[in-house]
Amino acid sequence: MLGGIRRYGLENVSTLSKWIDIPVETARYMIWEELPKHGISVGITVNLPRIGLGRWMLYFRPSEKSLTPAIENFLKNDAGLMYVARVLPNNCAFATFGIPFGEHYKLRDQLEQLRNSNIISSYSLDEIEFLRNVSFNSDFYDFKQRNWKFDWDEIENFKEPLITPDVPEDQAPVVDYKDILILKELQQSVPRTLSKLSGSIGLDQHNLRYHYKTHARRAISGYYLKLDSGNTPGSRTCLIFMHEFGSSENLDEGRIAALSIPFTQRVWKTEKYYCWYTICPGEYTNGLLRYVNRKFAGIPGKLEVLTIDSESEYQTSLPHTLFDERNGNWKYEPKSALSVIKK
């Protein structure tokens, strides 16, 4: 069942049921009744370029540690922020954004002002070329004991395919505010039926299905499985790895190593870096770092590891508030960084 969802998603449960050779109703029952009992849910990956948004990665260092909260407040004000977290122990921060195509210079201008005003000492802003959420791999988990069970020396026996998500289409995206709301709601929780979204979005079922089938569905690049381990943020280790790959051969080697890690949840690529995000129980941290150290000893390219303060993580869905419902397009006007920080 889990392998079938990873392969076929939830678009066609009949296809999924044929692949695992069980009746359709049994497949539906297992997806919506049995999997949640084991802490497993289904998420979607939204291809932001298909709805007119570029994806950007920011890493900045404040001139003083005490300034980080104020800088974060600026980023949360109409800047297209989707994720931000502090990096320990230097109180730097890592963030990702969804920004309308061609408008990222506005964020860069604000960051330059902060640097010129000595509020941040340095920053890097890089465009994300592709991003993929990685499914929880049940091969490494014992459901009876409700814990991870694997040997670091054997995890490479499972080969996760090197899937490169769809690139942006040449034609301009055709979406409206209703499509954006549908995608936002699906990011937060995938319901058993589309009709369950009607109340939260304010659309009748016929209108909802029309918008989903004609526009919103095209922006879903894939489904993935999530495991809620029940661990509190303080008991787990969150790490972001950034591999400066240098060549396509080094990139592929790094991708294979990153995707073999049971705790990898998200991967993305910029022009310069291949990155991946992991969450693991604290007792697995040393094993994870030793495995990465061993693998990348033979892969050329600088590897940087960011230790994330899990209690500082802020994550939201796509930046739907940037969409101008009246004019039917994206509007990007981040507030003045200096004015927000002075407050």
In a domain, 19, yes or no: yes
Distance CA 251, CA 227 (A): 28
In a domain, 11, yes or no: yes
265: tokens are: 């949840």
Distance CA 231, CA 14 (A): 35
Rounded average pLDDT over 160-187: 76
Q: Is the pLDDT of residue 169 over 60?
A: no
Q: Mean pLDDT across the chain, nearest whole number?
A: 88
Q: Are 5 and 223 in contact (CB under 8 A)?
A: yes
* Segments forming the whole domain that contains residue 29: 1-37
- Number of structural domains, the chain? 1
Q: Higher-confidence residue: 128 or 213?
A: 128
Distance CA 330, CA 98 (A): 11
Q: How far apart are the first and last CA of the chain?
A: 52
pTM of the model: 0.90
pLDDT of residue 203: 87
Rounded average pLDDT over 19-23: 75
In a domain, 13, yes or no: yes
- Give the pLDDT band of residue 167 (cuts 50, 70, 90): low
What is the CA angle 47-50-56, rounded to 5? 60
- Give the pLDDT band of residue 168 (cuts 50, 70, 90): low
SS (H, E, C) 102-134: CCHHHHHHHHHHHHHCCCEEEEEEEEEEEEEEC
286-295 pLDDT tens trace: 999 999 999 9
Q: Higher-confidence residue: 223 or 130?
A: 130
Q: Higher-confidence residue: 172 or 39?
A: 39
